[in-house]
Amino acid sequence: MEWDIYKTEFEKKASEKIEWLEAELSKIRTGKVSSSILEDVFVDYFGTNSKIIEVANIKSVDARQLVVKPYDPSILNDINRAITKANIGVNPIVDADSLRLNFPAQTEENRKALVKKTKEYSEQTKIGIRNIRKDIHSKINKDTELTKDNLKYYVETLDKTVKSKNTEIDKIIEKKEKELMTI
């Protein structure tokens, strides 16, 4: 097999891991709260498990407050329960037709805990990429059509590509840590 096939497979799978990392990091609150914090919160909407972002308008009022206004006011209490159950660190305040979520200011201790969490996500991603590397390496070694020189070239190129992906992950984490530690 040609190196391009192995490389394409590795790149596709590694990109999926990095996309997962970026999605998880987007849920970690920096100085300004984002509606993405509610992205994985589901509410029972007439027997269907729906994301809150699908059944309500979510807007950021200021850096520390979100307002959730359901399209159907009859599910306001269901959304309240879903947010409370999701344990995102705030208790919703019920208004007449909406919910207010007031997030506390980030303390130094909270920011350090979030930095630690980003490093855990980084390590999970790197482990995933190492597993992909292991799988591709195994396929390369089983390829009976490869000469020893090609085998060596493919393995060295794979290792360089893994290092490149790890550097990309480190840059993503470094940027997020900088955001988190900036007041």
Domain CATH number, residue 93:
3.30.1360.40
- What is this structure's pTM? 0.70
Q: What is the pLDDT along the chain (183 residues), one digit of tens a residue?
A: 577 888 899 999 999 999 999 988 887 766 677 777 888 889 988 888 888 888 999 998 887 888 999 998 888 889 988 888 888 778 888 888 999 988 877 788 888 888 999 999 999 999 999 999 999 999 888 888 888 888 888 889 999 999 999 999 999 999 998 888 876
CATH code, domain with 146: 1.10.132.20
For residue 97 the two structure tokens come to 């037709």
| Alpha helices (runs of H) in 27-147, residue ranges in sequence order | 52-55, 76-86, 108-142
Q: Are 111 and 23 part of one and the same domain?
A: yes
Domain span at residue 177 reads: 3-27+107-181
Long-range contacts of 43-51 (CB under 8 A, 24+ apart): 43/75, 43/78, 43/79, 43/81, 43/82, 44/78, 44/82, 45/72, 45/75, 45/78
Last residue of a domain, one of 48, 80, 102: 102
Return the residue matching tokens 């550097």. Answer: 167
DSSP 3-state of 21: helix
The domain total for the chain is 2
Q: Are 126 and 153 part of one and the same domain?
A: yes
Last residue of a domain, one of 102, 119, 147: 102
- The alpha carbon of 175 is separated from its chain's Cα centroid by a whole number of angstroms, namely 14
Q: Are 82 and 111 part of one and the same domain?
A: no
